Amino acid sequence: MDPIAPCLGAEIGNIDLRMPLDDDQYLALRAALLKHKVLFFRDQDISAAQQVALASRFGELEVHPVFPHHPDHRELVVLGGDSAQAARENIFHTDVSWRKLPSMGSILRCLECPAVGGDTLWVNMVAVHAGLPAAVRDRIAGLHAVHDILPAFGSRMNAEQREARRQEFPAATHPVVRIHPETGEKILYVNEAFTTHLADYLEKHEGQYRFGFDFRLEEMDLLQYLFRQANAPEYQVRLRWRHNTIAFWDNRSTQHYAIQDYFPARRRMLRATIIGDAPF
């Protein structure tokens, strides 16, 4: 196991992910994931069924309601654009934070990538929280934020589909600082793609403002400040993809960004996503 960056990320060698994980391998990978937050595996020529089996070892898999699916495995989403349509994952985000039970993690395999470009960044949101000024940590303690599927995915739907998705996936409210259920670490848990606003900012800071625009502007400024923390390179690791590279990340404690610098070249991925639990 070779660490890739000081803050997070490690490359795992000497393992064949086509084979079912035995108990020792499973426990070692789970421990490595908690420590390094994103794991990289090279030259893993696995099938779609083997990817599903690998991800299922870590928990039940979700079926994404918007992304296209693999024809034989609905648990696998197909990511990437083509020569006519650029991909749109190039924003820092935590996968499916708009669910009541956001994902525990994802396993992403590269089917096709450009010779140059198309890298992905991951961010250690535990380190981000720890690095915030103490006054900001105090200010956000106990706050909650609203996460919504429609701002990011609504443009892919017609009006009827948007209404159906709103009924199926009402906006979810999660703590701004969640606790990792396995490590106890504090995690800054807002993201630019899906977090729309703070649910209880005025309630927590009542009596400090003259007019409505005072607290509204301050709330928006605070949220934008928190979003920008993911941009700091000190908290990031960057992966250059190759064919049959696999990334496995802890979606509770990280954000990621797929760099769209390669269009009209193709970048095609298969992702399996493991259901998590309610943030607290």
CATH code of the domain containing 40: 3.60.130.10
Q: Mark whether 61 and 148 lie in a shared domain.
A: no
Pick the catalytic residue from 36, 95, 99, 252: 95
Q: Mark whether 49 and 137 lie in a shared domain.
A: no
Q: Mark whether 23 and 64 lie in a shared domain.
A: yes
Q: Is 154 part of any domain?
A: yes
Say what the pLDDT of residue 81 is.
72
Q: Mark whether 213 and 74 lie in a shared domain.
A: no
Sort strands 38-41 and 10-11 into parallel, antiparallel or unpaired.
parallel
Q: Mark whether 209 and 143 lie in a shared domain.
A: yes
Q: Mark whether 202 and 261 lie in a shared domain.
A: no
User: Known catalytic residue: 256?
Assistant: yes
User: Known catalytic residue: 70?
Assistant: no
Going from the first residue of the chain to its last (280 residues), give the mean pLDDT of each consecutive group of 10, the final group possibly shorter: 95 96 97 98 97 98 92 94 75 96 98 94 98 97 95 78 84 97 98 95 72 79 97 98 97 97 92 97
User: Known catalytic residue: 95?
Assistant: yes
Q: Is 280 part of any domain?
A: no
What pTM does this model have?
A: 0.93
Domains in the chain, number = 2
User: Known catalytic residue: 88?
Assistant: no
Q: Mark whether 157 and 199 lie in a shared domain.
A: yes
Q: Is 94 part of any domain?
A: yes
Q: Which two tokens stand for residue 28?
A: 């070692």
Q: Is 213 part of any domain?
A: yes
Pick the catalytic residue from 64, 93, 129, 252: 93
Which DSSP state fits 262? S
Pick the catalytic residue from 109, 129, 252, 271: 271
Place of tokens 């990792």: 180
- Structural domain of residue 243, as residue ranges? 2-124+235-275
Peptide bond into 264 cis (omega under 30): yes
Torsions phi, psi for 77 (to 5 deg): -95, 145
Pick the catalytic residue from 174, 178, 256, 267: 256
Torsions phi, psi for 8 (to 5 deg): -170, 165
Place of tokens 């749109």: 88
